[in-house]
Structure 1
Amino acid sequence: MVIVAPSLLSSDLFALSDQLKTIKASPAQYLHVDIMDGHYVPNINFGDKFVSEVRAHTDLTLDCHIMVQDPEQVVFDVAKAGGDILTFHPETTQHAYRLIEEIHKLGKKAGIAFDPALGIAAYEDLFPIVDQVLVMTVSPGFGGQTFIENMLGKIAAVKKLQQENNYHFDIEVDGGINAQTGQQCVTSGANVLVAGSFVFKNDIQTAIAQLSQLQ
């Protein structure tokens, strides 16, 4: 079954409590929280305080996408606030391997994310120790962008490496996901779908159910 991670970037923060209850009643297993610093990406969004507040209102897995320069400065606060999966962009730190080890020492899952312009070859050595590989299907930083179809090949390449080496990470995609593009990603090898606009601009439970049933 596909894991659906509604992206809170597209939620209505003034109605978030009710939306969280609606999501809880759906097949969604994760909540996706984007953390941005205005440096690695031009936008500024959510931080550890928001993670803590969401944690107090849900027991769903908090899938935290850390889009910051020098992620060491924030991952520990996000973990303490209640984040369950901490995914960062490996090119934003000089010590990606060490950071993954430190995240695991905190009892959390660690993920790495690939910007559309970033090839996977330079970071394949991290694959044996990560819990999640996130393939961005839009440029990181803003919601509502158009799905980049060329990224399907990158998803397939990650899946091929996973199968050939018996790696045990989830393959997540984020950006422009709806029922059609979600199916393309699942066919290419993804098993975790992040969806923002598609979920929150439609009936939340119906949209999540559609994505969760893809195979």
Structure 2
Amino acid sequence: MSVRIHPSILAADFAHLADDLERIRTADLIHFDVMDYHFVPNLSFGMPLFESIAANSPLPLDVHLMISDPLRWAPGYAEAGAESVTFHAEATESPAQVAKAIRAAGARVGLALKPGTDVDDYLELLPEIDMVLVMTVEPGFGGQAFMPETMPKLARLREAVDASGLEVRVQVDGGIDERTISIAAENGADTFVAGSSVFGAESAADQIALLRETATAHRH
């Protein structure tokens, strides 16, 4: 699979959001974080902002739900136009049910794992999903430092996906820049969420190109 770059608008300038969306139109998707101040200790965006961006975005939207009770809320984002909807394995006792609900509502399905969550507990779900997100920081806040201790889990996931023969993307999110993206790519990631490193760059397009080239060069 080709490398994909998903800038996270958590790092965008919301006073000039339309301009910032134009700056990243060379990316693949826009990463949209939803936080509920319950599953994670932060509050971010909800459906009204999502609908506004979806109606005006130059790119499809990749929704990351850091919320409790994803079965209640995830299908709505799919119905509202999300390309993919990712929910956290730790937020539900029935991840297969949530995955089926998202797919039935018309979106691709992602399963997110916190840094401390064992990927082996969820490998049986690979046939039900389109992407696994390995968090490389604790979810809840942008701008955190990349956690290299998550790389063995990432490599294990890559091994399992390759062995399955399934078309499942392997995504990382947290502290991704031109240095850490090479480490994540070497350990099997093909889809990269980057916030501060993209929106903080003088040229977001140049930074996206650099990230894409660096990840491609370090993939096995």
CA distance, structure 2, for counterparts of residue 72 and residue 97 of structure 1: 10
CA distance, structure 1, for counterparts of residue 68 and residue 24 of structure 2: 31
Which residue is equivalent to 2:207? Answer: 207
Question: One-letter code of the match for 1:8?
Answer: I
TM-score for both structures, normalised by structure 1 = 0.96
Which residue is equivalent to 2:78? Answer: 79
Pairing 1:46-57 to 2, within 5 Å after superposition = 46-57=45-56
CA distance, structure 2, for counterparts of residue 17 and residue 156 of structure 1: 37
TM-score for both structures, normalised by structure 2 = 0.94
Shift in Å at residue 102 of structure 1? 1.2
Shift in Å at residue 59 of structure 1? 4.1
Partner SS, residue 112 of structure 1: strand
Superposed CA offset, 1:194-214 (max 9, x none) = 000100111211111111112
Q: Is the 8 A contact 1:109 1:131 kept in 2?
A: yes
CA distance, structure 1, for counterparts of residue 171 and residue 60 of structure 2: 14
The range that moved more, 118-127 or 133-142, is 118-127
CA distance, structure 1, for counterparts of residue 37 and residue 206 of structure 2: 34
Q: Is the 8 A contact 1:49 1:81 kept in 2?
A: no
Q: Is the 8 A contact 1:71 1:88 kept in 2?
A: yes
Q: Is the 8 A contact 1:2 1:211 kept in 2?
A: no
Question: One-letter code of the match for 1:206?
Answer: D
Partner SS, residue 62 of structure 2: strand
Gaps of 5+ in 2: none
Q: Is the 8 A contact 2:71 2:101 kept in 1?
A: no
Which residue is equivalent to 1:5? Answer: 6
Shift in Å at residue 76 of structure 1? 2.1
Are 1:38 and 2:44 matched, yes or no?
no
CA distance, structure 1, for counterparts of residue 80 and residue 58 of structure 2: 13
Q: Is the 8 A contact 2:62 2:82 kept in 1?
A: yes
CA distance, structure 1, for counterparts of residue 160 and residue 75 of structure 2: 30
CA distance, structure 2, for counterparts of residue 45 and residue 82 of structure 1: 19
Superposed CA offset, 1:121-155 (max 9, x none) = 21111112110000000000000101000111111
CA distance, structure 1, for counterparts of residue 97 and residue 73 of structure 2: 15
Partner SS, residue 111 of structure 2: strand
CA distance, structure 2, for counterparts of residue 183 and residue 50 of structure 1: 33
How many residues align? The count is 213
Superposed CA offset, 1:62-109 (max 9, x none) = 100000011112112212222111100112112110111111111210
Q: Is the 8 A contact 2:63 2:84 kept in 1?
A: yes
Which residue is equivalent to 1:130? Answer: 129
